[in-house]
């Protein structure tokens, strides 16, 4: 019974938490523009920040926090500002030749991948994270007879999903960089990812209205 409930939780969590959103699209964009290695700090920040959101949801703090309209608006504003900055950073990132490693392209501040702090900030302020995690967490129980064990298992299971889906999005984005040798095509891909990032922000904001 526990295994079945755990599988049902994962089946629901993977499409909800792994679908395109501000955090996942930004990871793919960073992977495409800067490569995997320079983006690992940002990935770590996204994972830590999203796990913090999971803990806020599990403890009920998220519900109390978002019940105050001003708090929700502040988080949304922070996310929107950072996502727009990140979209500009991705769109203007220097295009590296296919034969040149990603870590050798950081000749200017613009060439630097987003960092750990940026990942944490985006994850915590990401409206999609609260919505997706909240929906999955509230709708599923693994061990209904034991609240403590149920919460522990759900936190562990969803943390695994957070690590998996975000890592895969970074790898997915980096795959584009390996295929691109034409600087013009590379620029188009970066601009496309930047546009998708802005679109994901717009969709997240619309879902809150």
Q: What is the pLDDT of residue 40?
A: 97
Contact (CB, 8 A) for 26 and 197: yes
Tokens of 102: 């990603």
CA-closest candidate to residue 95, choices 170, 23, 34, 6: 34
- Please check the confidence at residue 103 and state whether its pLDDT lies above 60: no
- Please check the confidence at residue 122 and state whether its pLDDT lies above 60: yes
- Please check the confidence at residue 98 and state whether its pLDDT lies above 80: no
Burial of 31 (0-12, 13-18, 19+ CB in 10 A): buried
- Please check the confidence at residue 99 and state whether its pLDDT lies above 60: no
* pLDDT tens figures, 124-147: 988 778 888 988 898 888 998 889
* pLDDT tens figures, 45-93: 999 999 999 999 999 888 777 777 787 778 778 888 888 988 898 888 8
Region 145-152: mean pLDDT is 91
- The answer to which of 25-29, 107-111, 155-159 has the lowest mean pLDDT is 107-111
Block residue for tokens 């203007």: 92
- Please check the confidence at residue 169 and state whether its pLDDT lies above 60: yes
- Per residue, what are the HEC states of 24-68? HHHHHHHHHHHCHHHHHHHHHHHHHHHHHHHHHHHHCHHHHHHCC
Q: What is the pLDDT of residue 108?
A: 45
Q: What is the pLDDT of residue 100?
A: 52
Look at the pTM and tell me if it is higher than 0.95.
no
- Please check the confidence at residue 197 and state whether its pLDDT lies above 80: yes
């Amino acid at each position: 019974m526990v295994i079945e409930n755990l599988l049902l939780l994962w089946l629901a969590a993977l499409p909800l938490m792994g679908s395109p959103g501000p955090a996942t699209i930004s990871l793919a964009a960073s992977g495409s523009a800067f490569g995997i290695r320079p983006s690992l700090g940002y990935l770590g920040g996204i994972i830590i920040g999203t796990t913090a959101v999971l803990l806020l949801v599990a403890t009920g703090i998220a519900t109390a926090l978002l019940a105050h309209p001003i708090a929700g608006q502040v988080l949304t504003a922070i996310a929107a500002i950072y996502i727009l900055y990140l979209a500009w950073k991705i769109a203007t990132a220097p295009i590296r030749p296919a034969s040149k490693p990603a870590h050798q392209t950081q000749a200017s501040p613009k060439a630097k991948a987003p960092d750990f702090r940026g990942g944490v900030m985006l994850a915590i302020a990401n409206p999609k994270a609260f919505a997706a995690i909240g929906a999955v967490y509230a709708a599923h129980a693994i061990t209904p007879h034991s609240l403590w064990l149920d919460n522990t298992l759900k936190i562990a299971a969803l943390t695994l999903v957070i690590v998996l889906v975000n890592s895969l999005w970074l790898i997915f984005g980096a795959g584009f960089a390996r295929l691109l040798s034409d600087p013009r095509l590379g620029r188009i891909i970066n601009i496309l990812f930047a546009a998708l990032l802005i679109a994901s922000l717009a969709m997240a904001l619309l879902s809150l209205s």
